């Protein structure tokens, strides 16, 4: 049984990851046409996630059609508020930004558990987003972003379900898990684009070589190196804007 099929036993033939946001190839229902403009009490909305701390969702105010999803997994000594805020300044109101809470630290910040913990949290957070915003959440694949140690989690998740996690954003983290066999598997099973954003000295020295291995599989890949900044600070966000436009180019839902 595939990873997706094991998440939940639901009617979508490809398993729960796809059903959480709608099955691929499924016709849009009449309810998704001419949606009322999306409203919320704040640009940042808390979501109750069963078995985990509250996730946060940045909301595309005013959207009257289904909006795509960017999942932002933060790093160590971090907070979901910071991740949502940084990506919000990049995508503006074009998408929902789902920011899972992660694991609490004694200093009131957050870190990550294992990649299995992260996957389990997303299994609960995605239905919470869909339950809260319904037809405003677009069906299909998502952009999966990770910062620092979360980059390895992003790669592991993507290798299990490339067609759902088809667009990856890897910020200041190690791509050592992106081996040649892994790159081949990602491309063959539906992976589309990968963007690595690197502040000075933060990424692996061979990041270009690892992403270049994606080319023969049909996956477009790019490395963007910032001249200054770190993580998702203001300088890095400024650098990311152009790269992100490339990452989602050709995706109608992101226009």
Residues 113-142: pLDDT tens digits?
999 999 999 999 999 999 999 999 999 999
CATH class of the region 38-140: alpha beta
How is the beta sheet containing 69-73 ordered, strand by strand? 44-47, 55-58, 96-99, 69-73, 143-147, 167-171, 193-198, 220-225
* Joined tokens for residue 49: 């996630």
- Compute CA distances 64 → 21, 47, 135, 193, 232, whole Å: 17, 21, 10, 27, 29
pLDDT digits (tens, 9 = 90+) for 146-186: 999 999 999 999 999 999 999 999 999 999 999 999 999 99
Answer yes or no: is pLDDT of 240 > 50.
yes
pLDDT digits (tens, 9 = 90+) for 60-116: 999 999 999 999 999 998 899 999 999 999 999 999 999 999 888 998 899 999 999
In contact, 169 and 150? CB cutoff 8 Å: no
Greater model confidence, 131 or 13: 131
Which of 191, 211, 199 lies closest to 240, judged by CA? 199
Q: Where are the domains of the chain?
A: 38-140, 167-249
Answer yes or no: is pLDDT of 213 > 60.
yes
Which of 206, 23, 230, 20 lies closest to 126, judged by CA? 20
* Joined tokens for residue 242: 């152009």
Mean pLDDT on 12-39: 58
The pLDDT value given to residue 83: 95
If pLDDT is split at 50, 70 and 90, which confidence band does 34 have? confident
How many Å apart are CA 210 and CA 194, to the nearest integer?
11
- Compute CA distances 180 → 33, 156, 170, 214, whole Å: 42, 14, 17, 8
Prediction pTM value: 0.89
- Compute CA distances 143 → 72, 95, 180, whole Å: 9, 10, 22
């Amino acid at each position: 049984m595939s990873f997706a099929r094991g998440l939940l036993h639901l009617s979508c033939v490809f398993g729960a990851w796809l059903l959480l946001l709608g099955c691929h190839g499924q016709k849009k229902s009449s309810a998704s046409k001419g949606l009322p403009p999306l409203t919320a009490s704040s640009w940042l909305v808390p979501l109750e996630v069963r078995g985990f701390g509250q996730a946060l969702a940045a909301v595309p105010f005013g959207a009257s059609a289904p909006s795509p999803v960017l999942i932002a997994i933060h790093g160590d000594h971090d907070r979901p508020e910071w991740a949502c805020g940084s990506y919000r300044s990049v995508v503006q109101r074009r998408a929902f930004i789902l920011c899972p809470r992660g694991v609490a630290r004694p200093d009131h910040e957050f870190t990550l558990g294992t990649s299995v913990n992260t996957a389990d949290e997303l299994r609960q957070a995605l239905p919470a987003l869909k339950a809260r915003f319904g037809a405003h959440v677009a069906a299909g694949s998502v952009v999966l972003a990770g910062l620092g140690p979360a980059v390895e989690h992003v790669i592991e998740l993507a290798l299990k379900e490339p067609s759902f996690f088809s667009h990856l954003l890897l910020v200041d983290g190690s791509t050592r898990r992106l081996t040649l066999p892994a790159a081949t598997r990602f491309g063959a099973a539906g992976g589309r684009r990968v963007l690595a954003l690197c502040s000075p000295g933060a990424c692996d020295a061979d990041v270009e070589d690892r992403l270049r291995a994606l080319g023969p599989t049909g996956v477009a890949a790019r490395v963007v190196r910032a001249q200054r900044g770190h993580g998702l600070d203001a300088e890095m966000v400024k650098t990311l804007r152009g790269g992100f436009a490339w990452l989602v180019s050709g995706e109608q839902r992101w226009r």
